[in-house]
A and B are shown apart, each in its own frame.
Chain A
Amino acid sequence: MTIEIENLHKAFGRHEALRGLSLTVPEGSAYALIGANGAGKTTTIKTVMNIIRPTRGVTRILGVDSRRLDVPQLQQIGYVSENQDMPARLTVGQYLAYLRPFYRSWDDDLERSIVTELRLPRERRIGDLSHGMRMKMALACALPFRPRILVLDEPFSGLDPLVRDEFMERMLQGLGDMTVLISSHELSDIEGITTHVGFIDQGRLLFQESMADLSGRFRAVRVTLDAMMKPQAPVPEAWLQLATAGSVVTFFDTRFDASRLAAQIAALFRGVRSIDVQPVALRTIFTTLARTSRDEQS
């Protein structure tokens, strides 16, 4: 595993941001860390990068305890964050030239091509760049050394769609067999690259699995009945956000099994006229889970 987190706790004063979080990011995967605001995504990533120290627990990256992360590991890790302070008074070109000697595998040609593709003005000061340009700058500083791991913390925050597309396009080109850990609210953007998903809520990992498994077990189900009716028995736990509008019942089946669904519905509703089953986008999965979690808390 490229990144392993075991029983991670982080408290800021009395507030516990992480409460025993554990997850693993397989090598070569694109792992999306999803969760609501304040769920603990950024804290997790900053702990992985040894920017903040955990209160308890262990994180390992490239086989090394994050607290001992040093030059050999950091030469293989690219990091892009929405709140990453680069020297504002250096120009784009000056900062890239500054970083170059720190990385043994820095590829000048790749750097040039990234800067050109992202249309970064080499002569402009970093402090004078717009937020979107600064994010592109951060990406341009994270890719030329062909990192083994790319860690992205809310990379699309505040980016307009055009910049987001440019960013994604460039990132996808550089992926190769790179391992990516990404936290983002823009789930529709990362869905195309995500291979694994970890859902964090209130500092705990609710689940993690491959995108293929997640997509396979999540379905949006729409049942049309002859007449409006309530379920005849308790609904399965796997059905979330069940709603009735007239004779139409909708819900999300989180353990979809095509061979059993019809029988499950028949056991709860009489007069089933039709059943419509649709795959669910990652964004919808996230919002469904987040809403359910919020409803349970309230």
Chain B
Amino acid sequence: MIANILRKDIRLLWPLAALANGMNLCSAICHYLRDQLVPPPPSLAQLTPLLSVLSLLGMLVVAVVAMHQDAVPGVRQDWLIRPIWRRDLILAKIAFVLLMIQAPLWLIDFGAALADGIPFPAACVAATVRNFAVLCELSLPAMMVGAITRSFVEAFMLCTAALIGYILFFQVVLAMVLGVKASVPETGAIWMVDAAFYVTASVGAALILPLQYFRRRTLLARSLVGLGGAAILAWTFMPWPLAFAMQRSLAAEPQAARSVQLAFDPRLGRFRLPPGAAPNATNALYIPLKVAGVPEDASVLLDHAEVRITTADGALLYKGKSNISVDGLGSMQDAQFEIRGARSSSDAYIHQRLYLPPAVLARIGDRPVKLGIDYSLTLFRGAAHFAVPAVGAHATIGKLGECVTRVDEEGDDVLVRCLSGRRQPTCLTEDLEDATAGLRNREVHFCIGDYTPAIFGSLLPDGIHRTGVELPFFDRSGSVHYPLDGSKLADSRVEIETLDARDHFMRHVDTPVLQLADLGGQAGGPGRTSTP
């Protein structure tokens, strides 16, 4: 009977499913063209993300409407008085979602990955991981919403009400009125929210669908859905120590950062603002830190810091976070710091930037205080080293996947673009080298703390992970001279080093009694301005 119900639903909904899948296909084609065309037409660049979002919305609508073909709430549905096993009905709905949403999506993602040159097994994995993400984050929630509503209008109103409830409670009451901010988002542990979503959606679907189809307990089912949604949102407010402890338990190489030490070191002196910068332009404090024991070729990245400011006898004056913006100032990268291990010395000195609310700084800036900072950090280590021709390379480069190198449209950068079916390293060092001539341009290095496990795919835009780096070799303004310029590109190579997160660890730093005003940036001539 499952096939009979499935046939009926397909007969009724194939145009809608075809439309959603058609949009998905168009989106994949646009992505492919955008990756291939140099330069991509502006209209294509605008259309592509729009199509990605629309195709997901289309899939969402199809899943909800499929459930509404045999709606559970209400007393008028014909199926209620037909000899249909409820189990068959649930399985038919799941089969419909798998067949009409998930399977075409998998095929499109798989085809797109193959077209992008990703090898067959990696393309399979990429399509499967994204499929799983769409199933958990879109299809299952849509099925649950469909099972607890009787029409699309009702489903839309329910979602709108949930959105308004979310904004009112989390954004207005918690964030704006009470000043409670989530710890987990905007850190490398953001994937834990995805994980909560995956678990809640799977458990929720396993509970809600049978509850509705076998018992028809709509009110209870709606309450459970609301509870699940609230649980996911509450999860983002989980205490940071708990989130980081979970992250640490997943470290690839626990104890790898055992040797790393952080200490307050006033010998570094005050941070010198760049020439011409206005003193006290921000509320930033610059904490002089000595970092020792960072292994060679390793990199240490700040994930989060919790700051306590106390009086000399320990009375708490202020408590806050400094991983991202503090109290709304700055962006994620502002206060983040990275210490890279050096071959010559195991010690590094750094000014860690710390923002304080202006009112706090005004209140306690001139008082003798002590700072206690709990740093949550991640150690990255070199995973692999590759070298490819600077121009015209087309090679498979480890986790980076299928990479090409070429000169950009302006003719001043070498572009390295990589497509992969799996998560790519978040730490990269790339430079242009001509080993025979002994020439080497300044390296480009970036590190983004994102520790999402490989099983978590992304809903948007597709199953492919993209990395692009620009390596400059010519400055049109003439202010920078590159040893390796355009004339030598033919003999040059791009050296690429990837780094993987190996260990997550915490360090505590205490300062002696000091005045916060003494930690502000100092106007003046050239000095240490490269950190944080």
| Pair B12/A74 contact, Cβ less than 8 Å | no
Nearest chain A residue, comparing its CB with the CB of B15: A89
In chain B, residues 206-222, which have Cβ atoms closer than 8 Å to a Cβ of chain A?
216
Residues from chain A with a CB closer than 8 A to the CB of B12 are 87, 89-90
When chains A and B are docked, how far (Å) is the Cα of A86 from the Cα of B4? Answer: 16
The answer to whether B258 has its CB under 8 Å from any CB of chain A is: no
Nearest chain A residue, comparing its CB with the CB of B76: A85
Please, what's the 1-or-0 string for A75-86, where 1 marks a CB less than 8 Å from any CB in chain B?
101010101111
Please, what's the 1-or-0 string for A40-57, where 1 marks a CB less than 8 Å from any CB in chain B?
000000100111110000
Of A94-102, A186-194, A210-218, the one touching chain B: A94-102
| Pair B81/A71 contact, Cβ less than 8 Å | no
When chains A and B are docked, how far (Å) is the Cα of A52 from the Cα of B85? Answer: 18
In chain B, residues 1-25, which have Cβ atoms closer than 8 Å to a Cβ of chain A?
1, 4, 7-8, 11-12
In the complex, how many residue pairs between chain A and chain B have their CB atoms under 8 Å apart? Answer: 55
| A contacts with B, residue count (CB < 8 A) | 29
| Pair B83/A86 contact, Cβ less than 8 Å | no
When chains A and B are docked, how far (Å) is the Cα of A90 from the Cα of B7? Answer: 12
Nearest chain B residue, comparing its CB with the CB of A74: B83
Residues from chain B with a CB closer than 8 A to the CB of A85 are 74, 76-78
When chains A and B are docked, how far (Å) is the Cα of A51 from the Cα of B80? Answer: 7
The answer to whether A103 has its CB under 8 Å from any CB of chain B is: yes
In chain B, residues 372-409, which have Cβ atoms closer than 8 Å to a Cβ of chain A?
none
| B contacts with A, residue count (CB < 8 A) | 19
Nearest chain A residue, comparing its CB with the CB of B3: A101
| Pair A71/B75 contact, Cβ less than 8 Å | no
B69 CB, nearest partner CB in chain A, Å: 7
When chains A and B are docked, how far (Å) is the Cα of A84 from the Cα of B85? Answer: 19
| Pair B78/A90 contact, Cβ less than 8 Å | no
Partner of B83, one of A46, A53, A84, A102: A102
Nearest chain B residue, comparing its CB with the CB of A99: B82
| Pair A86/B78 contact, Cβ less than 8 Å | yes
| Pair B80/A102 contact, Cβ less than 8 Å | no
When chains A and B are docked, how far (Å) is the Cα of A231 from the Cα of B530? Answer: 114
When chains A and B are docked, how far (Å) is the Cα of A105 from the Cα of B83? Answer: 12
When chains A and B are docked, how far (Å) is the Cα of A87 from the Cα of B8? Answer: 10
| Pair B4/A98 contact, Cβ less than 8 Å | yes
Please, what's the 1-or-0 string for B59-93, where 1 marks a CB less than 8 Å from any CB in chain A?
00000000001000011111011111100000000
| Pair A102/B78 contact, Cβ less than 8 Å | no
Residues from chain B with a CB closer than 8 A to the CB of A53 are 216
| Pair A102/B76 contact, Cβ less than 8 Å | no
Residues from chain A with a CB closer than 8 A to the CB of B80 are 49-51
| Pair A74/B82 contact, Cβ less than 8 Å | yes
| Pair B4/A46 contact, Cβ less than 8 Å | no
Partner of B75, one of A52, A73, A94: A52
| Pair B1/A102 contact, Cβ less than 8 Å | yes
Nearest chain B residue, comparing its CB with the CB of A73: B83
Nearest chain B residue, comparing its CB with the CB of A50: B80
| Pair B76/A84 contact, Cβ less than 8 Å | yes
When chains A and B are docked, how far (Å) is the Cα of A157 from the Cα of B80? Answer: 21
Residues from chain B with a CB closer than 8 A to the CB of A50 are 80
| Pair A49/B8 contact, Cβ less than 8 Å | no
Which of A53, A85, A90, A101 counts the most B-chain CB atoms under 10 A from its CB?
A85
When chains A and B are docked, how far (Å) is the Cα of A84 from the Cα of B76? Answer: 5
Nearest chain A residue, comparing its CB with the CB of B86: A70
| Pair A71/B83 contact, Cβ less than 8 Å | yes
Beyond A90-B8, A98-B8, A101-B1, whether A46 also contacts B85 by CB under 8 A is no
When chains A and B are docked, how far (Å) is the Cα of A258 from the Cα of B78? Answer: 49
When chains A and B are docked, how far (Å) is the Cα of A227 from the Cα of B4? Answer: 76
Nearest chain A residue, comparing its CB with the CB of B13: A89
Residues from chain A with a CB closer than 8 A to the CB of B76 are 81, 83-85
Residues from chain A with a CB closer than 8 A to the CB of B77 are 85
Residues from chain B with a CB closer than 8 A to the CB of A77 are 81
**Residue positions of B touching A, CB distance < 8 A:** 1, 4, 7-8, 11-12, 69, 74-78, 80-85, 216
**What 9 A-B pairs come out closest when comparing CB atoms?**
A74-B83, A71-B83, A79-B81, A75-B83, A85-B76, A86-B78, A51-B75, A102-B83, A83-B76
